[in-house]
Each structure stands twice: as structure tokens, then as C-alpha cells.
């Protein structure tokens, strides 16, 4: 088998290749050159131009001109006829129009309240001012502003003429000289302007009657914290301050904590649940403040570090013991002395 194959190949040894190439036409030479090119379409390492033969006979048009291409595409799009709709649009409405159901809900019998005819007539003919005072007496303070609530509580007559849903500008300057106002609470209201909260703190600087101030969930930020710090430096009557659930950062809280060095009256301070984490330095400053302020007996904050938490706990316990000693000393004529947790009674012999 191999000998026959070798004999078959021997007849091609004496072929004159140059003579054959000279006899080929230009078209046949181009086809021969195309067949002799080594191409590998599946080799991903080669450029695209080397994976296949060049079959383009058109001359290159030059570099890309984006503006000319966009103009050509727009012209081509305008020349194409639009396809006609299978069903032409007439604007006719089909089907029944939507009618919403009556949103009013029938009140169950067990929830229905029947009043005497005289009371129903009185409530029906009551003015907004009278309804505001009735809501204040019933404790429904969320239906009115704080000024309306305290005006109705502190006065025995109908003095509010602004209506139950009206918003009045509070006269915070009167807080400086008030003789009956003992508690100011601003909470669960997100529409209190920051400037209003700052004015409250400014009015509290010289107030000597208010004992408790709550600014919980009022969106108080660092400017309000600065005003609170300035108020703590001057106010000598406030005993409870609550500024939890606000947007005070570590810088604003540091001002409040440092202002406590000038305050010897405040006994309860709550600053927990702020929007941002206050940080380790603020917690260390809180622990140092509690240690240096014997008046603080209650402090509302969840410490994240064990060191400041232990220091604050020990200081709070000591401050409560000192307060108890002062109370017993006042009741027993000043013959008590405190040493740690031991109360020593001193008896004088004459």
C-alpha cells in the first residue's frame, strides 16, 4: 500500500511549478493567494482581521464622522412610511366609568354614643374656642397647640379665641416672668421650627418657675444643643431635662455635657437615642461629668463602652447616697455625716 502511494507521488517530482504559475491568469493567481492564507477563526488570541479572509472589495470611506452618520439615520427614519394602525384611534370610551364607593363607614352599635338632647345641642352650637377648652380639660392636648392647652388649663374662663386647629406664635418671652408655669413639654411634633426651639431655650435662661423641660422627638440639632448648653449655664431652677430621640451629633452633645460644669441644680438628664452614634470621647466626658456633678441622680443614656458605663454607675450611686444624706441631715438637725455607704449619727452630750 505504501509503495503504491510513493509511486503516485513520484510523478509530481518533475513538475515545473514556475511554468504552471506563468500560465495562470490574474483571477486564478488571486484565488490561489486567497487559498494559501493561513487563517484560524477559532483562535481568540488573534485580532478579528486575522481570523478570516478579507472579502471586502469596497474602498475605505475614511474616519468615522458621527454628525454625518446621525444626519443619515434621521433622514432615513423620516423617509420610511409609518405603519398604519390595525384599529384606528377614535377616542371612544368603552365600558362603564369607575365610580368610587362611599368611604363612610357605619359605626357599630357598641361604639355608638348617645348623649342627652341638651348636651348634643350644646356641642353642636359650640364655637371653636369652646371646643378647644373642652379638649384641654379632657386631656386631648394633641388637638391643639401648647399655648392653647395651657391657656385653657390655667384660666377658669374661655380665653382662647384662636380655634382648635389654629397655629399661634407662642409668646416665649412670657416664660421669663411666669408664676404658674411649672412644666414645658414639646414632643411628638415634627413641625416645630428650629428657631422656635432656640427661643424656648433663650426664654428659659432667666425663668425661675419651670422645673421640667422635655424636647423629645422635635428634630433638634446642634444649634438647639448649643442653645440648651447656654441655657444650662445660666438657669438655676430647672431640675429635669429630656432631649432624647433627636438629631444632635457628638459636637453638640459635647457642648451640653460641658455646660453641666456650671450647673448645680439639674438632677435628671436624658440624652439617649440620637440619630448618630456619639462616640467614645463623648461617653468618657459623660462619665466625668457625672462624677463631678453631685446633683445628677438620674442620667438617661445607653453606654456602649464598659469603662464609662461602670464609672457612671458608681457616680450615680454615690450622688443618690449624698442626696439621701442631705435629706436625713435636714430632718435630724444636721447631726449626720456620710462616709461611702455608711450613715453615721453624731450625738452631742452637754
pLDDT digits (tens, 9 = 90+) for 108-138: 766 666 667 777 777 777 776 677 666 666 6
Q: Is the pLDDT score of 41 beyond 70?
A: yes
- Whether the Cβ atoms of residue 168 and residue 145 lie closer than 8 Å to each other: yes
pLDDT at 241: 93
Chain center to CA of 49 = 57
Res. 187 pLDDT band, cuts 50 70 90: very low
Question: Residue 213 forms beta bridges with which residues?
Answer: 184, 241
Distance in angstroms (rounded) separating the CA atoms of residues 143 and 60: 81
Residues 188-231: tens digit of each pLDDT: 455 678 888 898 899 888 888 888 888 888 889 999 999 999 99
Residue the block writes with cell 486575522: 50
Sign of CA dihedral 184, 186, 192, 193: positive
1 pLDDT more than 60: no
Q: Is 16 left (phi over 0), alpha (psi -120 to 50) or beta?
A: beta
Lowest mean pLDDT: which of 45-49, 169-173, 188-192? Answer: 169-173
Q: How many CB atoms lie within 10 A of CB 208?
A: 13
Structural domain 170-303, CATH architecture: Alpha-Beta Horseshoe (3.80)
pLDDT band at 174 (very low <50, low <70, confident <90, very high): very low
Mean pLDDT of 156-173: 44
How sure is the predictor about 233, in pLDDT bands with cuts at 50, 70 and 90? very high
* CA distance linking residue 229 with residue 211, whole number of Å: 16
Q: DSSP characters for 71-116?
A: HHHHHHHHHSPPPPPSS-------SPPP-PPP---PPPGGG-----
Q: Which residues contact 321 (CB under 8 A, 6 or more apart)?
A: 338, 340, 341
Confidence band for 158, pLDDT divided at 50, 70 and 90:
very low
Q: Domain coordinates of the chain in residue numbers?
A: 115-168, 170-303
CA 269, CA 241: separation in Å to the nearest integer? 5
Which residue has better confidence, 189 or 177?
189
pLDDT at 350 over 70: no
Above 80 in pLDDT, residue 12? no
Whether the pLDDT of residue 166 is over 50: the answer is: no
Question: For a pLDDT cut of 70, what percent of the chain falls above it?
Answer: 71
Q: Which residues contact 319 (CB under 8 A, 6 or more apart)?
A: 290, 293, 294, 295, 296, 297
User: Which residue in 262, 288, 283 sits closest to 271, CA to CA?
Assistant: 283
Question: Residue 128 in contact with residue 163, Cβ under 8 Å?
Answer: yes
State the average pLDDT for the chain. 76
Q: Which of 163-172, 221-230, 238-247, 309-318 has the lowest mean pLDDT?
A: 163-172
**Span 281-309, pLDDT tens digits:** 999 999 999 999 999 999 999 999 999 99
Bigger pLDDT: 330 or 305?
305
R_g of the chain computed on alpha carbons: 46
How many CA atoms lie within 13 Å of 64's alpha carbon, on the beta-carbon side?
A: 2
pLDDT of residue 180: 44
pLDDT > 90 fraction of the chain, expressed in percent and rounded: 26
The answer to whether residue 252 scores a pLDDT higher than 90 is: yes
Whether residue 312 has pLDDT greater than 70: yes
Amino acid at each position: 500500500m505504501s509503495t503504491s502511494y510513493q509511486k503516485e507521488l513520484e510523478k509530481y517530482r518533475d513538475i515545473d511549478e514556475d511554468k504552471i504559475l506563468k500560465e495562470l491568469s490574474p483571477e486564478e493567481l488571486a484565488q490561489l493567494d486567497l487559498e494559501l492564507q493561513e487563517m484560524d477563526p477559532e483562535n481568540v488570541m488573534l485580532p478579528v482581521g486575522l481570523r478570516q479572509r478579507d472579502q471586502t472589495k469596497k474602498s475605505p470611506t475614511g474616519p468615522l464622522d458621527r454628525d454625518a452618520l446621525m444626519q443619515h439615520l434621521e433622514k432615513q427614519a423620516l423617509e420610511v412610511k409609518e405603519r398604519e394602525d390595525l384599529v384606528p384611534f377614535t377616542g371612544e370610551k368603552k365600558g362603564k366609568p369607575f365610580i368610587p364607593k362611599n368611604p363612610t363607614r357605619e359605626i357599630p352599635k357598641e361604639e355608638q354614643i348617645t348623649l342627652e338632647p341638651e348636651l348634643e345641642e350644646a356641642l353642636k352650637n359650640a364655637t371653636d374656642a369652646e371646643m378647644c377648652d373642652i379638649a384641654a380639660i379632657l386631656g386631648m392636648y394633641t388637638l391643639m397647640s401648647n399655648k392653647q392647652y395651657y391657656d385653657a388649663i390655667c384660666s377658669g374662663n374661655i380665653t382662647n379665641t384662636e380655634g382648635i386647629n389654629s397655629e399661634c406664635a407662642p409668646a416665649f418671652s412670657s416664660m421669663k416672668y411666669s408664676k404658674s408655669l411649672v412644666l414645658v413639654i414639646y414632643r411628638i411634633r415634627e413641625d416645630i421650627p428650629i428657631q422656635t426651639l432656640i427661643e424656648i431655650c433663650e426664654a428659659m435662661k432667666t425663668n425661675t418657675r419651670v422645673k421640667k423641660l422635655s424636647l423629645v422627638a422635635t428634630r433638634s440639632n446642634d444649634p438647639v444643643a448649643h442653645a440648651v448648653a447656654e441655657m444650662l449655664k445660666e438657669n438655676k431652677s430647672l431640675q429635669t431635662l429630656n432631649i432624647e430621640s433627636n438629631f444632635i451629633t457628638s459636637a453638640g452633645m459635647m457642648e451640653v455635657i460641658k455646660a453641666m460644669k456650671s450647673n448645680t441644680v439639674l438632677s435628671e438628664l436624658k440624652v439617649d437615642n440620637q440619630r448618630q452614634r456619639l462616640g467614645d470621647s463623648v461617653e468618657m466626658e459623660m462619665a466625668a461629668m457625672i462624677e463631678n456633678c453631685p446633683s445628677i441622680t438620674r442620667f438617661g443614656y445607653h453606654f456602649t463602652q464598659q469603662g464609662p458605663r461602670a464609672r457612671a454607675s458608681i457616680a450615680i450611686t454615690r450622688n443618690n447616697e449624698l442626696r439621701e444624706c442631705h435629706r436625713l441631715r435636714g430632718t435630724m438637725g444636721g447631726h449626720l455625716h456620710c462616709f461611702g455607704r455608711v450613715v453615721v449619727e453624731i450625738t452631742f452630750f452637754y
